[in-house]
Amino acid sequence: MTPNIASQTPLSSYAPKMSLAKRKEASEMRKTLKPLMEKRRRARINESLNQLKTLILPLVGKDTSRYSKLEKADILEMTVRFLKNLPTKPIQKSYTDGYRACLQRVSSLLPKTDLLDKETCCRLVQFIQTNMATSSTCQNCQGQSARVPNVLPVYPVRHSSTESSPSSSRNGASRTPPAVQPPNYRVWRPW
């Protein structure tokens, strides 16, 4: 057996050739992948533009069937115009309107519930009515520091079945629920 002649040549002479070959291979790979990556990028852009078109056409008041073919620039221009015309101030007004509607609903439902006694219910409705008159703006939206409002203590009185039981009427004394002690902390409210 004769020794392999290739094994006698130094390995360092192959190293530059291998790195050159690897660089060439990497370059060829990039050249191959670049059109594929570009195709994927364009597909993503077109898909996003189609989604934008289906979202913006009804908002602008256009019929989707009549505008099936739109240029990309038209879709983008319609979107920019729509976003520029979005109202900014009525958000505060709608918040205030919703807040007032909620307070009105609560004040109309409170007298109908049997969870509160009449005096507490009247005080709470009165508190809500005065709060509706004074809360025209959101305190937190105006950049003021959030303060804890003065809250009337409301303790629900639950009607238990023992009050109307025959044993309590036989004793001649009606049971009253134990007095609920008010907590020493204030309840945080978002308004």
Query: pLDDT, tens digit, for every residue of 61-103?
Result: 888 778 878 899 999 999 999 988 887 766 667 788 888 888 8
How many domains does the structure of the chain reveal? 2
**Domain harbouring 48, CATH code:** 4.10.280.10
- What is the chain's Cα-based Rg? 38
**Does residue 151 fall inside a structural domain?**
no
* Residues 97 and 77 reside in one and the same domain: no
What six digits make up the tokens of 141?
A: 């939206």
State the residue range of the domain holding 132. Answer: 89-140
Give pLDDT tens digits for 17-37: 668 888 888 888 888 889 999
* Residues 26 and 80 reside in one and the same domain: yes
* Residues 117 and 65 reside in one and the same domain: no
**Does residue 55 fall inside a structural domain?**
yes
Question: Is the pTM here over 0.85, yes or no?
Answer: no
What six digits make up the tokens of 65?
A: 């069937």
* Residues 19 and 79 reside in one and the same domain: yes
Give pLDDT tens digits for 95-132: 888 888 888 888 888 888 888 888 888 888 888 888 77
* Residues 76 and 22 reside in one and the same domain: yes
**Does residue 105 fall inside a structural domain?**
yes
* Residues 125 and 78 reside in one and the same domain: no
* Residues 99 and 38 reside in one and the same domain: no
* Residues 20 and 61 reside in one and the same domain: yes
End-to-end, the C-alpha distance of the chain in Å comes to: 96
What six digits make up the tokens of 5?
A: 């002649």
* Residues 112 and 79 reside in one and the same domain: no
φ, ψ of residue 117 in degrees (nearest 5): -75, 165
Residue 95 to residue 101: CA distance in whole angstroms: 10
